[in-house]
Amino acid sequence: MQSIKTIYKIGPGPSSSHTFGPMMASKYINEQYPEATSFKITLFGSLALTGKGHLTDKIILKTLGASKCEIIFDMKTPVEHPNTMIIEVFDKDTKIAEHTFVSIGGGKIEIDGKKGNVDPEIYPHTKMDDIQVYCNERHLRLDQYIDEVEDSDFDSYMNQIFKQMLKTVNTGLKKTGVLPGSLKIDRVAHALHQSAQSCNDIQDKNSLLLSSYAYAANEQNASGGIVVTAPTMGSCGVLPSLVYHFYYDQNYPKKTIIQGLKVAGLIGNLIQTNATISGAKAGCQAEVGAACSMGAAFVAYCQLQNNEQIECAAEIGLEHHLGLTCDPVGGYVMIPCIERNAVAAQRSVDAARLAKYLRNVKKNRVSFDMVVQTMNLTGKKLPIELKESALGGLAVVVPEKA
C-alpha cells in the first residue's frame, strides 16, 4: 500500500478524475514531446459524457495550448475503463506518438496500461484487520502506526494539506454570486454561515457551521478553485469542513487535527487499495461514502476513541452509503454533489458518536474490511447510467434550467 500522500493532493477542481487526471496526462505529454505542434485528444466513456460539466476540455486546452488541440467527445465507442482518453501527438503533419491514458481517481493516471509516476509500496499491511493485530501487539495507536511507516517529510506534507483545507473553506465562505455553468446555482456557503451566527440553539449552530464549511469547499471545487482531494475532488468538502469546525469552533489543537487527518488518510488509502475511489467506476459510494468513512475516523480519533472504535466509526460511515449513485445533473459537480458533502459531514459526526458507545456494548459483526469489499462488489453491479455518466438518476429527472 502506498503513502497516504497519494490520498491528499492539492489541485484545481471540479473533479480529480475528470479534471486533475486529464491535467496530469496533458502535463506528461508536454514533458515528453516539447517539439509537438498539435494534439488530437479523444475522450471516451464518462470523460466524454460528463467532460464538459467537469471542465475536462478546458483543463486540457489550458495545459496543452488551446490553439494546438482538437478534442473529440466519443460517447459511443466502448472502453474497458470509463475514464479513458487517447492523445495523439503531431509534429506539423506527422504523427509522432499516441498514448492511452486512464484516469483512475484521485488524480492518478495510467499510461498505456501502466501506472504513471508509480509511488512505492511502503505499508506492510493492506487490510484493517492486519493493521489492528499489528497495533495491538505493539500497543500502538493508528496514528503512531502511520508515523512509523511514512517518511521524514510526511509531517511537513500534512501541514500543507491542513493549511490548504482551511484556506479552501475560508475562501469559499467569502464568495457570493452564481457558480459557473448552465445550472446557474447560487453560492450559499456565506449565507449559511451568517445564519449559523444568529442561531440560539448550539446544536443547530454547530450543524449549520459544519454545513457552511462543506458548502464553501465544494463551491470552490465546482468553480474550478484549488481544493484538496479527500479522497477525491467530488468529495472534497467532508474532511475540510470537519477540520475547519474542529480547529476554529471546537478549539482542538493543530497537532491533534493533523494526526486525525493521518488516520483519515489511512482509511481512504485502504479503500483505494482494496476497492476504488472513482465515482465513474463505483458510484458516489466510492467518493462521498469514502469521505464520510474518513471523516468518521477523523472525528473518532480527535475525540480520543481507541483503534477499534475508530474502525467502527469508519465502517459505519461507509456502510450506510453503500449503493450511493453518482448522477450529476448536467455533468456538473454541483447537484447533488455539494449538498451531499454537507450531509456526509454531519453523518461523520454521528457515525463517530455511535461507534463510541456501540463498541462498549457489543462486538461489531461487520468489519471495515468487509464493508470495503462490499462497496467494491456493489460498484461493479451498478449500471453505467448511475456511475458518473449523467445518463440516469437525478441527472435525467432534474431539469438543467429552472
pLDDT in tens, 283-334: 999 999 999 999 999 999 999 999 999 999 999 999 999 999 999 999 999 9
Q: Give per-residue pLDDT as tens, 9-46.
A: 999 999 888 999 999 999 999 999 999 999 999 999 99
Residue 8 located in a structural domain = no
Comparing CA positions, the residue from 242, 222, 235 lying closest to residue 351 is: 242
Residue 394 located in a structural domain = no
371, 319 contact by CB (below 8 A): yes
Q: Give per-residue pLDDT as tens, 204-224.
A: 999 999 999 999 999 999 999
Q: Domain total for the chain? A: 2
Residue 206 located in a structural domain = yes
Assess whether 140 and 80 both reside in one domain: no
Write phi, then psi, for 233 (nearest 5 degrees): -80, -30
Report in angstroms the alpha-carbon separations of 286 from 28, 262, 269: 27, 19, 12
**Residue 31: CB atoms within 10 Å:** 8
| pLDDT value at residue 16 | 86
Residue 119 located in a structural domain = no
Domain with 48 in it: what CATH number?
3.30.1330.90
CA distance 75 to 60: 18
Residue 214 located in a structural domain = yes
| pLDDT value at residue 117 | 59
- E strands, 200-275, in order: 226-228
Assess whether 210 and 72 both reside in one domain: no
| pLDDT value at residue 116 | 59
Grid coordinates of 355 = 461507534
Q: Whole-number mean pLDDT of the chain? A: 95
pLDDT at 372 over 70: yes
CA distance 72 to 91: 19
- Upstream peptide bond of 231 is cis (omega within 30 degrees of 0): yes
| pLDDT value at residue 265 | 98
Assess whether 93 and 215 both reside in one domain: no
**From 92-106, 114-128, 306-320, 330-344, the region with the lowest mean pLDDT:** 114-128
- 3-state SS, residue 124: coil
Assess whether 99 and 135 both reside in one domain: no
Assess whether 321 and 358 both reside in one domain: yes
pLDDT at 84 over 90: yes
Comparing CA positions, the residue from 225, 99, 246, 84 lying closest to residue 167 is: 225
Strand order in the sheet with 84-91: 69-74, 38-44, 84-91, 94-105, 108-111, 114-115
Quote the domain boundaries for residue 68: 18-103
Give percent above pLDDT 70 in the chain.
99
Assess whether 174 and 270 both reside in one domain: yes
Assess whether 66 and 134 both reside in one domain: no
Q: Give per-residue pLDDT as tens, 260-283.
A: 999 999 999 999 999 999 999 999
pLDDT level of residue 119 (50, 70, 90 thresholds): confident
Assess whether 231 and 329 both reside in one domain: yes
Give percent above pLDDT 90 in the chain.
92
Q: Give per-residue pLDDT as tens, 131-155.
A: 999 999 999 999 999 999 999 999 9
Residue 297 located in a structural domain = yes
Assess whether 84 and 200 both reside in one domain: no
Assess whether 84 and 155 both reside in one domain: no
- Upstream peptide bond of 124 is cis (omega within 30 degrees of 0): no
pLDDT at 364 over 90: no
Residue 153 located in a structural domain = yes
Write the DSSP string, 148-211. HHS-TTHHHHHHHHHHHHHHHHHHHHH--SB-SSTT-PBP-HHHHHHHHHT-SSHHHHHHHHHH
Assess whether 163 and 90 both reside in one domain: no
CA distance 145 to 267: 13
CA distance 384 to 308: 36
Assess whether 193 and 44 both reside in one domain: no
Distinct helix (H) and strand (E) counts, the chain = 16, 8
pLDDT level of residue 118 (50, 70, 90 thresholds): low
